[in-house]
C-alpha cells in the first residue's frame, strides 16, 4: 500500500523522522478498521469490484421501451383475465352455460307459421260478412264507420222559439234569431255526456232557461246565471264530470 506523502518525514512519538509506517500511531482507518498491513475490501466492509457478471442486462436497464416496461403482479393478473375477440366473432362455446342454453332455445323457438286451414265464415257485430277467406274491405269499413261514436249535428233553420231536450254527443244549431230558448237535461246522465248548442240572439235578446243544477261559466254569466245580450251569437258546451253537469258560454 502506498504511504500518504503527508505521513512521510514525521517522527514517531513526536521525535525524528519515521521510515516505518507500522511504527506510526494514530493510523487512519476505514469503517473503524485501522489501515494496517494488507487489507481487502471485505476486511474494510467495502463492496467488491463489479465485474461484467454483476452488470444488469440491457433489457432491464432500458425500461423506456414499450417492450421492456415493468408490470406488477396485479397488472399481469388483470391482463390474463382479458378476452381476445376472435376474428370470426365470439363462438357460442366461449359463452357461459346459461347463455348457451338461452341461445339454444332461441334457435328452436317458433318464428312464424303460415295458417293452412280454411276460413269458413267472417262475422262482425253478429252479422255475417262472408263465407270464405275473402271479404270486401269496403263492407267492413262501412260497418265500422257506422259503429263509431261520432257527433250528430242537427241544424234548425226555421225556429225562433224552442224547447230543447239535450241528448249526449249532439250539436244543435239554430240559424234564425231565437227570442226564447228552454234547455232540459236527460233523465239519466251518462258519464261521457257532452252536447253543444249554437244560436243567435237578435235585436231582441234571447230569453233562455237552463236547469239551475248546471254549473255555468263564461261570457255574459254572473252568479251561475247566463243572460244573453242582443245581436250576439252564442256557443254553449255542456258536459258531465261525474258529479255535475257543467256548461261554458262563448259569445261573439
Residue 204 pLDDT:
94
Binning pLDDT at 50, 70 and 90, where does residue 228 land?
A: very high
- Higher pLDDT residue, 74 or 161? 161
Q: What is the pLDDT of residue 154?
A: 92
> What are the residue ranges spanned by the domains of the chain?
1-56, 120-147, 152-251
Residue 93, C-alpha cell as written in the block = 362455446
Q: For all residues of the chain together, what is the average pLDDT?
A: 79
pLDDT tens across 166-175, in order? 999 999 999 9
C-beta pairs of 217-224 under 8 Å, 24+ apart in sequence: 217/246, 217/247, 217/248, 217/249, 218/247, 218/248, 218/249, 218/250, 218/251, 219/249, 219/250, 219/251, 220/249, 220/251, 221/249
Going by pLDDT thresholds of 50, 70 and 90, the confidence category of residue 86 is confident
Q: What is the pLDDT of residue 12?
A: 46
CA distance 215 to 197: 16
Residues whose CB is less than 8 angstroms from the CB of residue 138 and which lie 6 or more positions away in sequence, other chains included? none
pLDDT surpassing 70 at residue 34: yes
Distance of CA 248 to the CA centre of its chain: 41
Amino acid at each position: 500500500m502506498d504511504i500518504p506523502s503527508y505521513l512521510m518525514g514525521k517522527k514517531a512519538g513526536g521525535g525524528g523522522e519515521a521510515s516505518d509506517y507500522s511504527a506510526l500511531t494514530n493510523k487512519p482507518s476505514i469503517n473503524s478498521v485501522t489501515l494496517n498491513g494488507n487489507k481487502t475490501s471485505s476486511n474494510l466492509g467495502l463492496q467488491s469490484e463489479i465485474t461484467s457478471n454483476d452488470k444488469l442486462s440491457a433489457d432491464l436497464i432500458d425500461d423506456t421501451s414499450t417492450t421492456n416496461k415493468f408490470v406488477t403482479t396485479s397488472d399481469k393478473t388483470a391482463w390474463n383475465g382479458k378476452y381476445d375477440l376472435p376474428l370470426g366473432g365470439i363462438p357460442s362455446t366461449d359463452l357461459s352455460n346459461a347463455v348457451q342454453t338461452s341461445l339454444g332455445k332461441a334457435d328452436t323457438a317458433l318464428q312464424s307459421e303460415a295458417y293452412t286451414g280454411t276460413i269458413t265464415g267472417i262475422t262482425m257485430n253478429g252479422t255475417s260478412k262472408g263465407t270464405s277467406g275473402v271479404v270486401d274491405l269496403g263492407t267492413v269499413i262501412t260497418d265500422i264507420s257506422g259503429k263509431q261514436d261520432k257527433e250528430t249535428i242537427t241544424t234548425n233553420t226555421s225556429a225562433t222559439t224552442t224547447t230543447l231536450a239535450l241528448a249526449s254527443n249532439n250539436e244543435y244549431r239554430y240559424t234564425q234569431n231565437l227570442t226564447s230558448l228552454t234547455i232540459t237535461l236527460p233523465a239519466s246522465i251518462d258519464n261521457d255526456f257532452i252536447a253543444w248548442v249554437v244560436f243567435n240572439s237578435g235585436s231582441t235578446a234571447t230569453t233562455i232557461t237552463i236547469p239551475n243544477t248546471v254549473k255555468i261559466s263564461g261570457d255574459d254569466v254572473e252568479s251561475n246565471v247566463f243572460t244573453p245580450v242582443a245581436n250576439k251569437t252564442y256557443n254553449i258546451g255542456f258536459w258531465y264530470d261525474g258529479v255535475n253537469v257543467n256548461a261554458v258560454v262563448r259569445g261573439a
